[in-house]
Structure 1
């Protein structure tokens, strides 16, 4: 049971709730603050004009709403903005959205009733997740359309995913003996105003992005073993000559991953010896191609970007992205634009770009393994069969190339795609949800690439029969991959096996041993 009170300090909290289905419980202090905020707003708003309580919304804020219609106003807002289109976002991403919205309410600056908080906690703990659609958010005034579908489910009029099926929320609430939300004061506006959709998707994107980076560091280390590279590419001395922490960390990870390898060579034992002076043309490369020897320099900025994005996502998850902001401490209500999603939009664009670069590195390393004229140690396309009759991994390169090209195409930043709307009330917007969703697509694409990538590396290891000389940590990855797709000689349709491998590599816990290695650095 995890306590929650509005301060998610680590990304691991999302992993615990979303992937391990840990139950959450409100702290007494969180409940107390929520009740105090609601009581203050209820009393404070009785004789004042406050946006969204006794006024219309957006461009219609100039119109006062009679007291007798104020609750209906909230229901009208929810119903009118539940206009989402496109595909529904996955249950995992929708659950993350729900968690983020709950966490922002726990800042006790939205003036919501404690009944709303209790209902959201129950939905999370019982895995009853509102159905949310991809299309609709422009990321200013928050993720209005996506959050309207969250609100619609909470009032018992929308849809939820329950036991693997899409069901009417009303029916599920009745079955689970849950009471739909009865609006108090401004819960409609509070639910819709915020960046919780882009932030929730962003948190899941980050969890998956770290896994992808793990697999590419592991793959790059193994390729260094496959080609018997020199160790100075990832040496502490060389990489310390640049002052970037990410580069230092990636080089350190590779050193740890190959520390017990019998395949990595030292330059001083080969090229610094007297006999090397008499050689006119070297058969082995004096320096490997960039995709192999520049891994710390390429993956370093990717790692640093992930850390930067993580900070932004956690900050946003712990922020109040509502409008107006209720402050019982100063006894005032503040109007502004905390619902604007520029922080997350820019962060997701950065994540999208570096994940595309990650897929590009895999593509180039694969091309090196597939092209016998480049590596000089493997048959074309790591073909274990008869050349000309069999094709090895030849057919698998085409989807990699096309998928990486798609990543490149959709990596243009959404942060600069603002289009005015809402009668020009929203005259500059973040497009943060679009950015988060496109980043999700790039990450999903990259997991397709990493499946082919890891399978190809395993095929290379198997062909060269170097398992007993590899570092045991990397050999365990080889065995993991071969446990899903055994080394093969004869051609067969491998698309189903690639899907299985993708599922394994993207699943929880498959890279846990590497996380432990990383902690030692």
Structure 2
């Protein structure tokens, strides 16, 4: 059970509640603040014109709504905006959305009744998730359409995911004894005005992006190891003179991973010591290709992009992002645009560009291992059968290449794709949910590419029979992968193997995690 207090939630808290499905409970002090804020709104709203309470919404805000229709106004808002389309959003992402919306209300600036907070907690703890669709939000009055589908569930309508099955909300609520939300003052507007969809999806993206980076560092280390690369490109001496924390962190992780390898070569020992000047043509490459030699310079900016995105998204997660802001402490109501998703949208665009580059590095390292003319070490396509008769990794390479190309197309920014709408009331928008969902697609694609890369690396290890010379960390990863994907010689369909390795990558903690923790303490 996770007790939510007035202390800001962290990315680790988000992971515990969303990914590990830890139940939540709310500190009584917070509930009292929410109740006090609600009571202030009820009193303050009397005999005043306040947007979204006794007016229409958006460009229809100039129309006053009569007293007898105030509650119907909120229900109309929810129902009219439940107009999403496309694929349903993954239930785990919806769990993240629910937590993000709950955390917004717990700040005590939304004027909602405590019953709403209690209902959101009940849905999280009973693992009942609204069915929400990918298409609809433009990310300016927040994620209006996605959050309207969330609100539709809360009032007992629409559909939910329960035990991995899509069912009518009313049916599941009756089965579990859940009481639908009763609108009090402005719960409809408070529910749909905000950045909780893009933020919930974005935080899940961050968790997976961190994992992707660690896998990429590990696979880069293994690729350098099997080709017996030199050690100076990830040395402290080379990387500490480039003053970027990400580059230095990646280099430190590679040193930790490869510290006890008997395959990585010392440039000093192999090229500087002894008489090497009697050769006119060197058989060994003096410097490796960039995809091997420039790992710290390529993955370093990705590391720093992830770190910056975490700062921004955790700040958004703990922010008040609806409108208007109900400030009972200053006895006033403030109208503005805290629902605007530009912060999240921009970080998601940066993150998907960074992860696309990570997938491009993986594809180039894969190509190096499969191209015998480049590596001069392995048979074409790491074919361990009969050349010409068998095909090795050739078919899987096509999948990796085409998937990286798709990533490159998806990496066009959403942040600058503002299209005015809502009778030009929303004349500049963020497209934050689109940005977050496209980033999710790029991340999923990248796990596929890295799965194929690791299958090739494992074949390279078996071709060399070099297990006794590998570093302990890389050997452990090799063994884990071989438990899922055995060495092969004869050609067989590999699509199920790719999915198994991808699933392992998505759910396991990389061996490099320990090295990353050590590195973060040193920096």
TM-score interval, normalised by the smaller of the two chains: over 0.9
Distance 1:412 1:108 in 2: 37
SS of the residue aligned with 2:503? helix
Query: Aligned-pair distance for 1:510?
Result: 3.2
Corresponding position of 1:322: 322
Corresponding position of 1:265: 265
Corresponding position of 2:305: 305
Q: Deviations over 1:400-432 (max 9, x none)?
A: 111101110110100000000000000000011
Q: How does 1:156-171 map to 2 (within 5 A)?
A: 156-171=156-171
Query: Aligned-pair distance for 1:500?
Result: 0.9
Q: How does 1:51-90 map to 2 (within 5 A)?
A: 51-90=51-90
Structure 2: gaps of 5 or more residues: none
Residue pair 1:6, 1:104 contacting (<8 A) in 2 also = no
SS of the residue aligned with 1:353? helix
RMSD, aligned α-carbons: 0.9
Distance 2:7 2:371 in 1: 51
Distance 2:430 2:516 in 1: 35
Distance 1:194 1:6 in 2: 20
Distance 1:401 1:58 in 2: 45
Q: How does 1:491-502 map to 2 (within 5 A)?
A: 491-502=491-502
- Normalising by structure 1, we get a TM-score of 0.99
SS of the residue aligned with 1:478? helix
Q: How does 1:383-394 map to 2 (within 5 A)?
A: 383-394=383-394
Residue pair 2:217, 2:512 contacting (<8 A) in 1 also = no
Corresponding position of 1:361: 361
Distance 1:20 1:420 in 2: 39
Corresponding position of 1:476: 476
- Structure 1 stretches of at least 4 aligned residues deviating more than 6 Å after TM superposition: none
Distance 2:54 2:92 in 1: 36
Corresponding position of 1:518: 516
Residue pair 1:504, 1:510 contacting (<8 A) in 2 also = no
| Structure 2 residue 379 is the aligned partner of structure 1 residue 379 | yes
Q: Deviations over 1:163-198 (max 9, x none)?
A: 110111111111111100000100000001000000
| Structure 2 residue 435 is the aligned partner of structure 1 residue 428 | no
Q: Deviations over 1:235-293 (max 9, x none)?
A: 00000111001000000000000001111111110111232121211111100000001
Distance 1:379 1:7 in 2: 57
Query: Aligned-pair distance for 1:40?
Result: 0.7
Structure 1: gaps of 5 or more residues: none
- Normalising by structure 2, we get a TM-score of 0.98
Query: Aligned-pair distance for 1:6?
Result: 5.8
Q: 1:356 to 1:152 in 2, by over 3 A?
A: same
Corresponding position of 2:245: 245
Distance 1:302 1:76 in 2: 44
Corresponding position of 1:116: 116
Q: How does 1:107-256 map to 2 (within 5 A)?
A: 107-256=107-256
Residue pair 1:194, 1:321 contacting (<8 A) in 2 also = yes
SS of the residue aligned with 1:276? coil
Residue pair 1:355, 1:442 contacting (<8 A) in 2 also = yes
Distance 1:102 1:516 in 2: 33
Residue pair 1:160, 1:168 contacting (<8 A) in 2 also = yes
Residue pair 1:7, 1:103 contacting (<8 A) in 2 also = no
SS of the residue aligned with 1:3? strand
SS of the residue aligned with 2:284? coil
The range that moved more, 298-307 or 16-25, is: 16-25
SS of the residue aligned with 1:451? helix
SS of the residue aligned with 1:46? coil
Query: Aligned-pair distance for 1:8?
Result: 4.2
Q: 1:446 to 1:196 in 2, by over 3 A?
A: same
